[in-house]
Structure 1
């Protein structure tokens, strides 16, 4: 498979520095007509990482999506150097478009050190090679061909494989609010550890709210029966990993209410190490019928 989509994504995430602590990034549309939240989060983490010593990597990030991003305009990222300690470094990043903040991220970086070790065990899952690719799977669900084409283009840089049918795969059938996907970059990445964290951050926003839809038999963006958007996003990076090797994203939703839904996930390396924990809340609204 061509590495062109991955190279295009890496180019998208490679910000231009326009002043000390100020960076500019390009944007592009996602499956829906707005900037993909994972792109903004990944770019903001790149901006923060450019101001941090190379021996410190992110161990956590907490972010809020404030406004819809315009895919036709650049995004300016301003970095606030909040703290530089002996072991930890803290940064705050605000993404701005058209003079208004659209996204805010706080990230903490740490110099690696030894410590106590334990983790939740990796749940069972089939081997990723046994699962169909997106190109094989999406056309089988009877979706609008234009929707399928846009979805494949938006995710071409990532090999993402569902363990079970996605929400739109069994539309109208409520299921357990749990979803699993395997993913990896569609090509080889450099060894820079920050790059792998950034790529995982990008992917982490793709499917986390799926489990909310599963509980109610909703199909989401593919069929237009739900209006959704990310509200906030938090990640904790526990152990080293490579984003160009298979990672299992185990996701579930413990609650939905008040027009919002909560998704939580754990990302494991193929050999069973818990690499990342993720929590996200999003808007999940059922569109009102149009008045004749």
Structure 2
């Protein structure tokens, strides 16, 4: 390889932005990426939760950044990516993880506020973060990067009484597909991870889930490490390789044939 073709090594290593990094799967993914050698910018609405993630990581301060952000707000999302670029110089990975849930109700009993909150967070927030990531990744040198959208089995097959969440996750699937297509021109790889039942990280019992026939069943779970291993695998692919879709779930979880 000639000196002209060699890519400079960023001073902070590979740079990831993780939304929803203050709790749940976002926190777990952030800690796993840090453990794998990435530098990570954590985004979320609660500063104290982001700082708790940083404290749990126990890494040198230069490798981690907390940026309180409401991803539903275009100006706050733009400020997030400005802060990451100012601190680290580039963005190599966006894990579009932040989400929202609503109580499962029939559509006739679903409040408009629940619909708006879920769609605004998952769909609009995912779009705004991807838009800023495209702007940074297409302009930086070396050009390109990777986006991983956090989907769900509900991006493909619904659960009963989950109209807002299912619609939002189906929209994530469409977002993943079009961004993967549009990203080719800029060296931006876009994929989606769909994770099934993850055991509650606080050790609480897995709640029963309604099945298509109306019965309630406690379904199998996997430890959160199976999820984080998959995220790190997708993130660590070389630039010319994309994991387009990756589904990780308990072997006996209802998915194929759900309904």
TM value normalised by structure 1: 0.30
TM value normalised by structure 2: 0.33
